[in-house]
């Protein structure tokens, strides 16, 4: 899993150049000229030796999802209003939760987008699910599959019906609650 320099914490372990290090100390530096960077002191777990390393700080940009075009997603940079065509695979499995006009963030370093991140929670409408009947738990499960407006499938409780709006955790693909729109 890739992390951003803004995620650094004392005691955190990172994998760098084939070795595991512990972040002993770090400092975000934003000079008046040039890009921000993070100065760190790292301890190599294997030997206990310490070293200092400077990382360029990643920058977060906000994009808006506009529409799908085949296997590509069209995203608009909210600062410049330029449109980027991004392979759906770059966003990964979470792309199934993208709804038009939804905002997502991108980690940018050195002018290159390193990755995209959706909001942790989204509210989407259920477009297809079986009706739930009281006492219908013969299978031992109290959930049923539901198709959401973006095409994503999640397990929902039996009381959820077509047309209901549900809150879903995009990190775990799990139903959280029914919401009113």
**Same domain assignment for residues 32 and 80:** no
CA 71 to CA 111: how far, in whole Å? 24
**pLDDT at site 86:** 94
**pLDDT at site 65:** 97
Q: What is the pLDDT of residues 153-180, one digit of tens each?
A: 999 998 899 999 999 999 899 999 999 8
What is the tally of structural domains in the chain?
3
- Only one residue has tokens 């038009």, namely 100
Answer whether residue 106 shows pLDDT above 70.
yes
Q: How many CA atoms lie within 13 A of 34 on its CB side?
A: 8
CB 100 within 8 A of CB 65: yes
CA 177 to CA 175: how far, in whole Å? 6
**pLDDT at site 17:** 82
**pLDDT at site 138:** 46
- In CATH, what number is assigned to the domain containing residue 42? 2.30.30.30
Q: Which domain does 74 fall in, by range?
A: 59-117
Ramachandran angles phi, psi of 113, nearest 5°: -80, 120
Helices (H) and strands (E) in the chain, counts: 1, 14
- Only one residue has tokens 């995203």, namely 75
Answer whether residue 114 shows pLDDT above 90.
no
**pLDDT at site 181:** 74
* End-of-domain residue from the set 56, 73, 97: 56
Section 105-134 average pLDDT: 84
Section 44-65 average pLDDT: 88
Q: What is the pLDDT of residues 13-53, one digit of tens each?
A: 888 888 899 999 988 887 777 777 889 999 999 999 999 99
Closest-CA residue to 6 (of 28, 21, 29, 23): 28
* End-of-domain residue from the set 36, 56, 76: 56
CB 43 within 8 A of CB 37: no
- Token pair of 62 as six digits: 């906000």
- In CATH, what number is assigned to the domain containing residue 73? 2.40.50.140
């Amino acid at each position: 899993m890739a992390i951003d320099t803004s995620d650094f914490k004392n005691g955190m372990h990172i994998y760098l150049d084939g070795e595991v290090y512990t972040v002993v100390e770090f400092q975000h530096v934003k000079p008046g000229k040039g890009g921000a960077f993070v100065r760190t002191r790292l301890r190599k777990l294997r030997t206990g030796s310490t070293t200092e390393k400077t990382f360029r700080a990643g920058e977060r940009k906000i994009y808006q999802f506009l529409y799908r075009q085949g296997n590509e997603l069209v995203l608009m940079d909210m600062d410049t209003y330029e449109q980027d065509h991004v392979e759906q695979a770059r966003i990964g499995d979470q792309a199934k939760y993208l709804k038009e006009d939804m905002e997502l963030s991108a980690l940018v370093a050195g002018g290159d987008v390193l990755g995209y991140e959706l909001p942790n929670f989204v509210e989407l409408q259920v477009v297809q699910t079986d009706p739930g009947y009281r006492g219908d738990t013969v299978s031992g499960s109290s959930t049923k599959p539901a198709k959401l407006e973006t095409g994503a499938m999640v397990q929902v409780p039996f009381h959820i019906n077509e047309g209901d709006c549900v809150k879903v955790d995009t990190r775990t693909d799990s139903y959280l609650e029914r919401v009113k729109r």
